[in-house]
Amino acid sequence: MSGHSKWANIKSKKGVKDKARGTLFSKLSRVITLAVLEGGGLTDPENNIKLRLAVEKAKEGNMPKENIQRAIERGIGPNKDQIKEVIYEGFGPGGAALILLTTTDSPNRTLTEIRNVMDRHGGKLGIQGSVNYLFKRCGLVIFEKNKVKEDDVFGFADKIKAFDIEEDKEQFSVYFPFENLGHIKEYLKGIEASPAEIDYKPLSYIKISEKEQATRIINLIEALEELDDVHKVFANFDIPEEFLK
């Protein structure tokens, strides 16, 4: 059970509930607004790949169309420059490396909140570049096994020039070069998959050998994701399945 791509499975196994819908929509809204900002004000998802990914993720979360449109409009509004993406790096219990993607209008506030959570849960905030080299920025598409044919998954992986495919009992996780994100719709062509994501895939993993340590890491990541400004956490832990029971 490794890293962020399996975090949804861990939450399911541990009975961890996602945040309230209102807070989820707030996080998604900021990611959409940021995508417009970083795209130079482009509000058409077909011409702004990060915006397209953000909108698809919002739709998956059942975010109303009007909320999505308001978030897009904020990206070209008078207060558009207040929101920015800030990436924080750190360490969890057992030395697991963490990358936190945040959208914030106050980096100082966000930094303070993250540091407080780290301190409470046995983590430690690192300096810029302290763990980034342990991850590969890439694209990720997840396929549910009960909804696709294996040949279709591997055909897509070949077209998108995937560099890794992870498989478990329920799904295939296909990792591919970041620069190929723009070809997702072209290569999927009707194959059912989760919305594509920008991912930070660990280049190596920290083996967690004690259940107590595994619990502390999971609690830390959950607490970080509870913060309004944090929209995604990546980690390079490897937790045995039996620790999740």
For residue 141, give the 3-state DSSP assignment.
strand
Beta strands per DSSP E along 145-178: 164-167, 171-177
Please, which pLDDT band fits residue 133 given cuts at 50, 70 and 90?
A: very high
pLDDT in the model for residue 7: 53
pLDDT in the model for residue 3: 44
Please, which pLDDT band fits residue 239 given cuts at 50, 70 and 90?
A: confident
The 10s digit of each residue's pLDDT in 30-87 is: 999 999 998 888 999 989 999 999 999 999 889 999 999 999 998 887 766 688 999 9
Helix ranges (H only) for 64-169 are 65-74, 107-120, 150-159
The predicted model scores a pTM of: 0.86
**Closest by CA position to 96, among listed 227, 224, 230, 229:** 224
Residue-range domains of the chain with CATH: 21-82 (1.10.10.200), 83-125+206-244 (3.30.70.980), 134-202 (3.30.70.980)
pLDDT in the model for residue 90: 97
Residue that the structure tokens 């190929």 belong to:
180
CA distance 39 to 197: 17
